[in-house]
Amino acid sequence: MTTGVRRRMGVEERRQQLIGVALELFARRSPDEVSIDEIASAAGISRPLVYHYFPGKLSLYEAALKRAAQDLASRFEEPQQGSLGGRLLRVMRRFFDFVDEHGPGFSALMRGGPAVGSSTTNALIDSVRQVAYEQILSHLRVTDPPPRLELLIRSWISLAESTALIWLDGRRIPRAELEVQLVHDFAALAAVSAANDEEMTALLRQMLRDEPHDGPFTDLAARLITLAS
């Protein structure tokens, strides 16, 4: 993203340019491996000028992370149309689009990176998880979730994160299979909760009521019946 001709930019325009450049570099390599000199060179400016807009790489990383977190959170937004299984599958496809596009940065964030452990980083990660949690609740049309439902959704979000990290280590399982598997995992976790709780039983029935014959939840049920026979 080297600029051929330098031009004067406003403060905010330059900051946003540097954030974009950093995100591009972090998408290819871990933030720990990217230097301020590389960011400056890719932006077509001097190293001291980068420090004029950001005190150090940590502050630039946090700014880039904030933009990436907003992008990731938006991937969980889905129109409330069609079956829940179909909606979750579309969400997982967009989630893995993000993981695919920002692999090293995503991995560094979740496993350890230059800003991990900072209050800013923790707050951003938590905000994405909260958006995902609230989106799923809205699709279930639940405003006051019982404890088992909250446990189910938050456990599933953690599972999606862990699955994405494992997939990035070699991508040994086809991505499309993992997207479907995670939707199946949600249904399976819901079934386990339903076996122990009447509220979850009613919720599971609601989930399955609108599921088409070729939907991911129906597909899981058919596979389980085949295994049991």
List of residues 6+ apart from 102 with CB closer than 8 A: 23, 26, 27, 68
- Residue 116, pLDDT > 90, answer no
Mean pLDDT, residues 146-152 taken together = 96
**Which H, E and C letters describe 77-127, residue by residue?**
CCCCCCCHHHHHHHHHHHHHHHHHHCHHHHHHHHHCCCCCCCHHHHHHHHH
Q: In whole angstroms, how large is the CA radius of gyration of the chain?
A: 21
How does DSSP classify residue 32?
Answer: G
Mean pLDDT for all residues in the chain? 88
Quote the pLDDT of residue 115. Answer: 53
Which tokens hold the place of 210? 């609108």
C-alpha–C-alpha distance, residues 165 and 159, integer Å: 10
Instruction: Classify 113 as helix, strand or coil.
Output: coil
- The end-to-end CA distance of the chain, in Å, is 58
Tell me the pLDDT band of 114, cut-offs 50, 70 and 90: low
